[in-house]
Chains A and B, each alone.
Chain A
Amino acid sequence: MAYFIQQLINGLTLGAIYGLIAIGYTMVYGIIGMINFAHGEIYMIGAFISVITFLVLQSVGMGFVPLVLVVMLIASMLFTSVYGWTIERIAYRPLRRAPRLAALISAIGMSIALQNYVQLTQGARVKALAPIISGGMTLFEQNGFEVRLSYLQIFIIILTMALMAGFSYLIDRTPLGRQQRACEQDRTMAALVGVNVDRTISTTFVMGAALAAVAGMMVTLYYGVVDFFIGFLAGVKAFTAAVLGGIGSLPGAMLGGLLIGLIEAFWSAYFTIEYKDVATFSILVLVLIFRPTGLLGKPEIEKV
């Protein structure tokens, strides 16, 4: 039981991170009907920016942890957003009326270009980071096994919950969120009622990138290492999470992320760690066979 709860905690932490990345996939898909294959790289860039910010803060002798975290968070969200915005402008907007395949190829090209760009400017080697948030608490002990909840895990889970709550509010309740939903449901009509569709799409990329940046920073803190290639697997998994939850659905992305995190944690704990990715993708296949629209996806039947 204790072991199970420990895996639950680990899985939720991981799942929170996947969920944050998955939101970016699902929102962009919702609004332009395209998978942004460069989104994993956006997350990787977010991770790098948080490392760089940390190193800069360290070199100026700033050591107060809460402040360091806030500055890292803001800097990575801000700069990563600029990347997200730029990618949309140069790789996707010119192809808005082109066939889907063209945009897809552009996305893959963008993803490779960003990987190479980071590899060239930051080097191919892994960057390591000393733990910033350390320590934790023992929740309880059973048969000599301690269930640990680290302060970092608390930080990740609480920050994720806060972001998701704020984000859901933004989408459901604010004029900006309404404009985004309008563009998602009918772009032509949105323009007729006065929505600047291009700007709304840009905003969506910016928001997705900001959340991916937070995920990047969390992973940096959690694993303590980053390299230029981390975007690939994380991207594929978050994309899987988005599809599992139902692509286009925000709660779906969050749920999908949590499920993938949990599957990975439990599979690694009870079976073999080598096959955890296989397990994840097998479950995706099974879900798609029995529920092609994903767990919370909306079936496309509507009266018009």
Chain B
Amino acid sequence: MLKIEGVHTFYGQIEALKGVDLHIKQGEIVTLIGANGAGKSTLLMTVFGNPKCRQGRVVYEGQDITGVPAHEIVRLGIAQSPEGRRIFPRMTVYENLQMGALPTDGSTFEEDIREVFDLFPRLEERRNQRGGTLSGGEQQMLAIGRAMMSKPRLLLLDEPSLGLAPLVVRQIFDIIKKINEKGVTVFLVEQNAFHALKLAHRGYVMVNGVITMTGPGQELLANPEIRAAYLEGGH
């Protein structure tokens, strides 16, 4: 469904991605784990062409989307809940969800927002509250809910568990699973390797802008190197 082929991405002179290859199949949950600064967020943003990769290709459902402007990507069926959640702080929960919807979907808006409220009843209770005043967990729910408003086929999630209490993390991961069961393919970037690998069908490990390991989630979870680097005494 999504193929990243030999992607190199730069910030000025700094090479953040040094030739990344990975693929995601329809219906999967694929996770990408790696330490802070490895280049995970850069990879998700490269899918949206912001920044654009200097070398390599991003192919989505057979179509080369490398040069497509960021605002067009969501129309192709890819949505992102980015690093730091990026809720529109001075908009209400409801307005944030309106922003997530595609303008062409006006006729199904009520159904779509119903579905998001069913996933996150908390958002319905807070619908008129400003995004900037929500708790971290609520903001994360809103970020995912906003992404779901565009009815994506592929959902990119950047560290949804960051800074959240364990109980909330569990809730969020349950919902990710539910979303996947509805038929949405999920690409989950995490530092919380334990939860992510348990949930995912497959995983990739990124170190300093290159993929160093890949395999089924359970296999990576059992791998002693990974246990040492990302699980024990880690997060």
Contact = CB atoms under 8 A, between A and B. Distances in A.
B84 A304 contact: yes
B217 interface: no
B50 to A, nearest CB: 7
B133 interface: yes
Contact of B71 (A185, A186, A194, A303): A194
A189 B90 CA distance: 14
Nearest to B132: A302
Interface string A173-202: 001001101100110111111111100000
A298 interface: yes
A182 B99 contact: yes
B88 A182 contact: yes
A188 B88 CA distance: 11
Interface stretch (B1-9, B74-82, B181-189, B221-229): B74-82
B70 A192 contact: yes
Nearest to A192: B80
B213 interface: no
B86 interface: yes
Q: Is the interface of A mostly helix, strand, loop or mixed?
A: helix
Contacts of A190: 71, 99
B21 interface: no
Given A188-B50, A194-B75, A304 B89 contact: yes
Which of A182, A186, A192 has the most chain B CB atoms inside 10 A of its CB? A192
A24 B117 CA distance: 38
B132 A192 contact: no
Contact of B74 (A181, A193, A197, A302): A193
B88 A189 contact: yes
Contacts of B88: 181-182, 185-186, 189
Contacts of B74: 192-194
A247 B39 CA distance: 37
B41 to A, nearest CB: 12
A181 B50 contact: no
Given A178-B95, A181-B88, A192 B103 contact: no
B192 interface: no
B204 interface: no
Contacts of B139: 303
Contacts of A175: 98, 103
A186 B90 contact: no
Nearest to B90: A185
A193 B99 CA distance: 7
Nearest to B135: A303
A31 to B, nearest CB: 13
B146 interface: yes
Nearest to B86: A189
B191 interface: no
A181 B95 CA distance: 10
Nearest to B149: A193
Contacts of A191: 48, 50, 69-71
Interface in A2-42: none
Interface in A112-168: none
B161 interface: no
A56 B80 CA distance: 54
Contact of B133 (A185, A194, A197, A303): A303
Nearest to A301: B132
Interface string B48-70: 10100000000000000000011
Given A175-B103, A178-B95, A189 B48 contact: no
13 contacts: A178-B91, A178-B99, A185-B89, A189-B82, A191-B50, A192-B70, A192-B80, A193-B99, A193-B146, A194-B71, A194-B75, A195-B99, A303-B132
